[in-house]
Structure 1
Amino acid sequence: MKSNGSLVKPAASFDEPVEMLKACHERIAAQCLTLERLAAYLPLHGADTQAQQAASAVMRYFDVAGPHHHADEEHDLFPMLIEAGQRLGSPVAERIASLSSEHRSLEAAWAQLRVVLADIAQGKASSPETVRVDDFVGAYRAHIVLEESQILPFAEASLSEEQLARLSAAMVARRTHTPR
Structure 2
Amino acid sequence: MSAKSSQQEGPIAGFSNCHAGILSRFERLKRLPQLLADPADLPAARQFADGMVRFVRDAVFEHHAEEEEALFPAVARSAAPGDERQLVDSLIARLTREHRELEALWAGLEPAMKNFARGKTADIDTKAVDRLCRSYAEHAHFEERVWLPLSERILKPNDQAALGLTLHLRHALDKVVAHI
Q: Which TM-score bucket, shorter chain as reference? A: 0.7 to 0.9
Structure 2 residue aligned with 1:87: 81
Structure 2 residue aligned with 1:64: 58
Q: Within 1, Cα distance between the matches of 2:66 and 2:89?
A: 16
How far off is 1:147 after superposition?
0.5
Structure 2 residue aligned with 1:141: 137
How far off is 1:140 after superposition?
0.5
How far off is 1:158 after superposition?
1.3
Over the matched positions of the two proteins, sequence identity in percent amounts to 30
Report matched runs for 1:30-179 at 5 Å: 30-45=24-39, 48-87=42-81, 89-90=83-84, 91-176=87-172, 177-178=175-176, 179=179
CA contact (8 A) 1:18 1:152 kept: yes
Number of positions where the alignment pairs a residue of Structure 1 with one of Structure 2: 169
CA contact (8 A) 1:46 1:125 kept: no
How far off is 1:114 after superposition?
1.4
Gaps of 5+ in 2: none
CA contact (8 A) 1:84 1:158 kept: yes
Of Structure 1 and Structure 2, which has the larger fraction of its residues in helix? 2
Q: Within 2, Cα distance between the matches of 1:35 and 1:146?
A: 21
How far off is 1:95 after superposition?
1.4
Structure 2 residue aligned with 1:4: none
TM norm structure 2: 0.84
Q: Within 1, Cα distance between the matches of 2:47 and 2:22?
A: 17
How far off is 1:46 after superposition?
7.3
Larger mean Cα displacement after TM superposition, 96-105 or 34-43: 34-43
TM norm structure 1: 0.84
Q: Within 1, Cα distance between the matches of 2:106 and 2:40?
A: 21
